[in-house]
């Protein structure tokens, strides 16, 4: 006789394995259990789905914030859900809208870079906690890079071409 309880006997088969194999319906999936009147689980309405209105709001927020995480949070979705949707809808106006939204931000960044390259940056000088003067510092390397790489300021050539049609793309996303 063994000192082990019956459930810890290493040679005994697991009860779920034996009962399912023996045809015990209590441990089988519902479709195999013969649950009369139970065709499928009841449909659950999901509130975390991507709707066309939610996609449009996401793209507007993405254009404004330039942050996928912030835009997704603003419409009640996760960052990973947004990237999954983009991957799934590669040939949809949504993907083009995503690029255009980021292009809008790149245009704003390009303007800021040009402004800084042309007009420099104010530097405040303090002495014993008091402001004693303001000078302007110019970054010639930044200006040189902008002049040498005019096409690199932006994301994709296709988005650059359609940047003025962002509202039209948003309408297509909303329409489906």
Sequence-distant (≥ 6) Cβ neighbours of residue 67 within 8 angstroms: none
pTM tops 0.85 = no
CA distances (Å), 7 to each of 80, 165, 167, in order?
43, 69, 67
d(CA 97, CA 158): 11
Mean pLDDT of 143-153: 70
Q: pLDDT at residue 130 above 90?
A: yes
**CB neighbourhood size of 57 (10 A):** 17
Q: What residue ranges do the domains of the chain occupy?
A: 8-44, 45-175
Q: pLDDT at residue 144 above 70?
A: yes
Secondary structure letter of residue 22 according to DSSP: T
Question: Is residue 100 classed exposed, middle or buried when 0-12, 13-18 and 19+ CB atoms within 10 A define those classes?
Answer: buried
d(CA 101, CA 66): 8
Q: Phi and psi for 42 in degrees, rounded to 5?
A: -60, 145
Question: What's the gap between Cα 159 and its chain centre?
Answer: 18
Q: pLDDT at residue 28 above 60?
A: no
d(CA 8, CA 164): 71
Secondary structure letter of residue 152 according to DSSP: G
Structure confidence at residue 47 as a pLDDT band (50, 70, 90): low
Sequence-distant (≥ 6) Cβ neighbours of residue 45 within 8 angstroms: none
Most confident residue range from 16-20, 115-119, 167-171: 115-119
């Amino acid at each position: 006789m063994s000192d082990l309880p019956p459930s810890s006997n290493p040679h005994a088969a697991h009860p779920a394995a034996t009962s399912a194999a023996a045809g015990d319906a209590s441990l089988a999936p519902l479709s195999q259990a013969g649950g009369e009147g139970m065709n499928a689980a009841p449909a659950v309405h999901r509130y975390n789905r991507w709707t066309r209105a939610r996609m449009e709001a996401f793209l507007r927020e993405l254009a404004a914030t330039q942050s996928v995480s912030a835009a997704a949070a603003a419409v009640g979705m996760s960052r990973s859900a947004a990237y999954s949707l983009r991957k799934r809808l590669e040939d949809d106006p949504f993907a083009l809208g995503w690029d255009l939204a980021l292009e809008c931000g790149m245009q704003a960044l390009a303007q800021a870079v040009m402004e800084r390259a042309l007009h420099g940056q104010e530097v405040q000088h303090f002495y014993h906690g008091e402001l004693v003067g303001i000078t302007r510092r110019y970054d010639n390397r930044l200006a040189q890079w902008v002049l040498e790489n005019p096409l690199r300021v932006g994301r994709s050539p296709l988005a650059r071409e359609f940047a003025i049609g962002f509202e039209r793309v948003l309408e297509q996303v909303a329409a489906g």
